[in-house]
Amino acid sequence: MPPHLEKCPRSLLVSEKSNFLNEASRHEAHVSKHWFNYKISLLIPECEVLPADFLKVIGNFSSYYIVQDLPVYRFLEEDMLEIIKKGSFYALSYKTRLDEDNVIACLGRKLILSLDKDTYEQLGLEGKPSLYNHRKPMRYVVTVDLTDKSLVPGAKRYQQVLLSLKERVLLRCDFLLTDSHSDQDGYLKALLSQYTYEKCRPTLSTQNLTDLLCPSLQSSDFQGKSLSCTPEQFLDWLGAVNLNISCQNSATSFLSTYVCPEPCNSVSQALLCTVTGLIPPEDISALLQELRKYFDEPKVAAWVSLTVHGFVDSPVCWGTNEHGFLKGGENFYNFVCFKNQEYWLHMATGAHDGCPP
């Protein structure tokens, strides 16, 4: 076997246990700081039809837009700044590759530019070398705080940034963007009308699973301290379920096999619900709130699982921590919610990322 295949790339997994009712619980903070999400997977054991309340919440998810060839300097226009400062506007360059292209993101009132060396030097804005360069810096990250007082239209600093983005290097690309106030902000509609764009809705799909082997999870068994499987084993199993990989392989003529972690039990039916699109943290928070109410009425299932996947080419993962690509670009988190309002939270990133919070 070639040497580079003998070792798996480093990955990071942080797990914590808490209770939604605990004042010190950080679940909302973690959700709100994972900005760019493209897929939600909801697994509900002993369930056949998606509950109406869940369907209503998902139906209220924000629309998003695919805008073609939008110049980055448009985010600095005065009316646009007012929209961004409300804190619910998100934009991510579309079909740009974090390991090769210039990648742009607007989040949490900040504009983040992940740039190749040539673009960075031409732009003339102050930035920092990427944390994930090789021997020599070949990539730089520029962060512009759009709420800074020096970025008031007409100010010297504002004019400098605008000049760089509009005249020195006219950065432009396709964008995914969403804003929960879009129905009220006429300027955003006017801006979109100047470009070719498509309005999209998050896509919902459901799959019924029968006779599914599930790990027997108890909230007290966190981190595999009792008989329950470890976080790594649970996430491997969850990935297999989402990819429709059999968890009942027997050691016959196969080179490798996979079985459900022990102890486990067979559930007659389970529902796998998937939502894809540009999904802002506010919508995920609303779904998590509804998920907490699922056990208000008696249920056969002991737990439900919610997994949120971030865009692999997002320039950030949690907060403004730089996200790297390397081989997979993965960054995701998973909630396992129990009847007693306790939860497990697993946060995972790839080799080129800092430790999740």
Say what the pLDDT of residue 8 is: 59
Say what the pLDDT of residue 252 is: 59
pLDDT tens track for 154-200: 899 999 999 999 999 999 999 999 987 665 568 888 899 999 999 99
**Spans in the chain with pLDDT lower than 50:** 224, 226-227
Per-domain boundaries in the chain: 3-61+202-349, 64-200
Say what the pLDDT of residue 58 is: 97
Q: Over the chain, what HEC string results?
A: CCHHHHCCCCCEEEEEEEECCCCCCCHHHHHHCECCEEEEEEEEECCCCCCHHHHHHHHCCCCEEEEEEEEHHHHHCHHHHHHHCCCCEEEEECCCCCCCCCEEEEECCEEEEEEEHHHHHHHCCCCEECCCCCCCCCEEEEEEECCCHHHCCCCHHHHHHHHHHHHHCCCEEEEEEEECCCCCCHHHHHHHHCCCEEEECCEEEEEEEEEEEEECCCHHHHHHCCCCCCHHHHHHHHHHHHCCCCCECCCCCCCCCCECCCCEEEEEEEEEEEEEEEECHHHHHHHHHHHHHHHHCCCCCCEEEEEEEECCCCCECECCCEECCCCCCCEEEEEEEECCCEEEEEEEECCCECCCC
pLDDT tens track for 127-143: 999 988 878 889 999 99
Say what the pLDDT of residue 230 is: 85
